[in-house]
Amino acid sequence: MGGSGSGRRRRDSSPGVLLKEDEKAADSSSGADRTGGERHERLLRDPLCLTYKKILVRSGRSPRTVEAALDDLSLLATLEERLLWGGEGFLWERLDRPRALKFVKRLCDRDYAPSSIARILSGLRGFYGFLTTSGHVAEDPFRRISGPRAERKLPPLLSEAEASALVAACDREGPEHSPKELRDRAILELFYQTGVRLSELCGLRWEDLDSNLSALLVRGKGGKDRRVPVVGEAREALRALRTLSGKTGAAPSGPLFADLDGGPLSPWQVGRIVKKYAKEAGLPETVTPHALRHSCATHLLDREADLREIQALLGHASLGSTQRYLHTGLGEIARKLAKIRDGSPPSTP
């Protein structure tokens, strides 16, 4: 989530920080003359906020998740400053359910996207849950408060032919490949055949592969590791990359996908690589690493893989997250239902 900078959490901007009008409104209502940065520093001096931050870090939450939680508290402290600021510190117990509802309404009035409001409320429930458990407040004022319903967008999807064309675009330079071209092919193959997240792929190291390149240790969200199989073209691409890169020792080390300086590729760089070959393959600009992840799951589902097997492969904490991929199989379900309705005999095994 966003850090310092500008941008109200609008539908057309990245989430993270307060817009200047919000800061001025809070300042004028409290009579204070402080910048948003000063208020954020004051928030970080709050003992309860610091304790909550330490709990998040110890529980294995990512730095971005911890930063987002502090951003949510900063937003609440700014918009409800007159209520919460007690002169010596924040009085979080002053916030009751009516004021919590008013806070949500203020976010709606400021054109925060429904998805952003839902995420903010989730973060604040986490903080007030901590306050409730530790006995600092009697109850969570955000409990059972929901924001406006967010429009659920269907994830992008490639057909199997389009996914094959994307990977094949790496071969257009001829039979001899440079380390960079072999690296790019391995990236595309891993995305499509393992469904790893962009951040997970950027964090991979050579030592995460077993000796025969048949399994890969992936470090997922919340510090949860998982092993995924590496087969077929993805395995061959990694084998070729290891050979040409000189990673033939018993214990190769370093970033699996490195830039020219030897450091790990950034998510932005990997995204550019995917878009480059998508363009060369004649595919739309909407092709992203996330599209390959969704396509991997959908094509496995189409080939009758078990939903829980897909859940384990993708590293989803709940089956509900994996079920988002089910909508892409509706065409096949409709075809089978049509056969039932028109009296077609079932296929025999």
Task: Return the SS3 of 85.
Answer: strand
Q: Tell me if 3 sits within 8 A of 67, measured CB to CB.
A: yes
Q: Tell me if 142 sits within 8 A of 127, measured CB to CB.
A: no
- 177 a catalytic residue: no
Q: Is 257 exposed, middle or buried (0-12, 13-18, 19+ CB in 10 A)?
A: buried
Exactly one of 125, 293, 294, 299 is catalytic; name it. 293
d(CA 67, CA 2): 8
Task: Return the SS3 of 209.
Answer: strand
d(CA 24, CA 80): 13
Q: Is 68 exposed, middle or buried (0-12, 13-18, 19+ CB in 10 A)?
A: buried
Exactly one of 94, 221, 226, 327 is catalytic; name it. 221
Q: Give the type of residue at 297.
A: A
- 325 a catalytic residue: yes
DSSP string, 128-152: HHHHHHTTSSSS-TTTT---PPPP-
Exactly one of 8, 61, 119, 197 is catalytic; name it. 197
Exactly one of 53, 61, 242, 316 is catalytic; name it. 316
Longest Cα–Cα distance in the chain: 78
d(CA 15, CA 98): 25
- 192 a catalytic residue: no
Exactly one of 94, 106, 239, 290 is catalytic; name it. 290
SS (H, E, C) 211-271: CCCCEEEEECHHHCEEEEECCHHHHHHHHHHHHHCCCCCCCCCCECCECCCCCECCHHHHH
Q: Is 176 exposed, middle or buried (0-12, 13-18, 19+ CB in 10 A)?
A: exposed
- 327 a catalytic residue: no
d(CA 208, CA 230): 12
- 221 a catalytic residue: yes
- 316 a catalytic residue: yes
Task: Return the SS3 of 199.
Answer: helix
Catalytic residues, by residue number, are: 197, 221, 290, 293, 316, 325
